[in-house]
A and B are shown apart, each in its own frame.
Chain A
Amino acid sequence: MIIYLLCIFLFLVGLYGVVAKRNLIKIVIGLAIMEYSVNLFLILIGYVKGGAAPIRSGEMADKAFTNFVDPLPQAMVLTAIVIGLATTALLLAIAIRIYKKYGTFDIREIKNLKG
């Protein structure tokens, strides 16, 4: 159980980074940490203690289908990682563009739009 709580703790660390930090790059890092914590959580869902790889061939072909790691969360996490890559890359690209226009990464000075 403690390990799930640690996951949530990691999520909150990321949330702190997004909410409290004033540097654009640090906000992006906070978002990435949140994403990793969710990925970790999904992997933990599928984890089975002492479970084998879910391949039904070779020496595993005869064994009963009992103690296997769930492969579906792993596929989900792989997809989520790809999506996270796209989001992070786009965020960084925008952050660099903002730096070019404003000359700073500080969000207190980037406020042309009101609320």
Chain B
Amino acid sequence: MDLYIPLFVAVPLGGAFLSAIIGHFLKRFGRIFTSVILAFLTGLSLFLIFTVREPLVLKVGGWELLGKIPIAIYMVIDGLSIYMLLIINLIGFLSAFYSISYMKKFTAENNYYTLFCIMTAGMNGVVISGDIFNIYVFMEMAAISSYALVAFGIEKEELEASFKYQVLGGMSSLFILLGIGLLYWSTSTLNIADVSRIIFSNGKSELIIFAQVILLAGFGLKAAMIPFHAWLPDAHSSAPSPISSMLSGVLIKAIGAYVILRLFFNMFAITYDVSLVITIIGTLSMVTGVLLAIGQWDIKRLLAYHSISQMGYVILGVGIGMLVLAKNGDRSVATLSIAGGLFHLFNHAVFKGLLFLNAGAVEYETGIRDMKKLGGLSEKMPVTASTSLSASMSISGIPPFNGFFSKLIIIIAAIQAGYYVLSILAVFVSIITLASFLKVQRFTFFNKKSSGLESSGISVREVPFTMCFSMIFLAVLCIVLSLMIIPSVREIILTPAVDVLVNAGKYSATVLGY
């Protein structure tokens, strides 16, 4: 079983450079090969979800423990890792399949697919690595290729957004590196499990607390939490649409939220102060993101602001769980809250990915992103309009869709834990989200056809097959994921991931084996 772990990095990397080489001679190679690779990895992660019960540990290079010192780089797959791998590769596959038609108008298509594969490999690497410096390296791999992908259109806006994103991203990476250095200084190890063992036995020194703050700032910037959100709306709205859907749907989760969860649950012992900070950041992001989104008329910019808000829900759910755990409260409430957060993470990847793909389809046909100039597209583009409707209902929490259930779980958990204000805020934000998406639906798809679109004389049709396929697949997932509330389904997919976080102290023992 351990054999499968390195494949998640090796296969996309190999695919990236194969498509760079063969793409010189065979123009269409990268286009198809990327989708094949990512479909394979999606299948592999589904297979692992159904078979793996115990965490898999791979020691790179075959170096065993030297006494009690882990000298190898560890690669660990546990419940949370598999859950994230499934999200990354699924959304990656659908975005790559969507790109087949969408990217035809761009030159240098092969470079696009090479960067796409490297980005996926980086995110997979972050999720499976059990070593904090390795996380940094894979994170940079994903981040640098995303900088290049944001600038892929090489127009004025893209370049400006990419430069902004790179400067802020580079600074956050330096903070993270500094934090890793401080951590190494005080514990003399980089292995997450070993650091956690040392912190549990020796307690936290001031140096470790300082490292904690710096790491929270660094990864918070990568996850675009509220005080650090300035780059997100520019970068996510300027990128090509499949890349926007990868960035919003997966990247900020894999290299931002996931690492925060992994480090602050499994590596640093949970304390009340840190959980309070995380909860406050989550709440602020949730409320401010949606307030900033109200006034937007650029469709992709609006979606980007909603990403901040919805990630706030995820962090809020997990933060409440942390608070309950830190106060030694009722563990079932913590479990419920964390489950809600992680469930919302998956849901957000699905519906936000879909919404960006819809925006891309509209832009592909009309070339317009300003909602004031759009209108009446529902007759001409039925697939785009109906899938967009289901995604909008899902993000604003209308009952049969998945977004409703995850938000409901978070709100119930907040009430059970006694944070009534937070639950009211969550409901309030959900209502504003609904209003905001009613605006999107009305002005883009259901309004009378606008004069601007009419006079420009663009003949609007439904988008090509590969784009339709990805959108329909995600729209179906929007409903199917609601099944996750059925206990037997939840047991398989969600519960292992939640267990890793709730039983945070067990991580080091299971990975190290002593």
Residue numbers of A with Cβ under 8 A of B are 11, 15, 18, 24, 27, 31, 34-35, 38, 41-42, 45, 72-73, 76, 79-80, 83, 86-87, 90-91, 94-95, 97-98, 101-102, 110-113, 115
Q: Which of A41, A45, A73, A102 is B156 in contact with, Cβ under 8 Å?
A: A102
Residue numbers of B with Cβ under 8 A of A are 133, 137, 140, 144, 147-148, 151, 154-157, 159-164, 166-167, 170-171, 173-174, 177-178, 180-181, 184-185, 190, 230, 233-234, 238
Contacts of B163 in A (CB 8 A): 24, 91, 94-95, 98
Say yes or no: A113 contacts B148, CB within 8 Å.
no
B-side binding surface: helix, strand, loop or mixed?
helix
Contacts of A27 in B (CB 8 A): 167
Say yes or no: B157 contacts A112, CB within 8 Å.
yes
Contacts of B181 in A (CB 8 A): 38, 41-42, 45, 73, 76
A45-B181, A72-B190, A90-B148 given as contacts; is B156 within 8 A of A112 (CB)? yes
A-side binding surface: helix, strand, loop or mixed?
helix
Say yes or no: A35 contacts B184, CB within 8 Å.
no
Contacts of B151 in A (CB 8 A): 94, 97
A45-B185, A73-B181, A79-B137 given as contacts; is B234 within 8 A of A113 (CB)? yes
Complex Cα distance, B139 from A87, in Å, reads 13
Q: A83-B137, A115-B233 are in contact. List 16 more A-B contacts (CB 8 A).
A: A11-B178, A15-B171, A34-B171, A34-B174, A38-B174, A42-B184, A72-B184, A76-B180, A87-B147, A90-B148, A102-B156, A112-B157, A112-B160, A113-B164, A113-B238, A115-B230
Complex Cα distance, B180 from A91, in Å, reads 24
Contacts of B174 in A (CB 8 A): 31, 34-35, 38
Contacts of B147 in A (CB 8 A): 87, 90, 94
Say yes or no: A31 contacts B170, CB within 8 Å.
yes
What are 28 inter-chain pairs, A to B, with CB distance below 8 A?
A11-B178, A18-B167, A31-B170, A35-B170, A38-B177, A38-B181, A41-B178, A41-B181, A42-B177, A42-B184, A72-B184, A76-B184, A83-B137, A83-B140, A87-B140, A87-B170, A90-B144, A90-B147, A90-B166, A91-B163, A91-B167, A94-B162, A97-B151, A101-B156, A110-B160, A112-B156, A112-B160, A115-B230
- B427: min CB distance to chain A, Å: 28
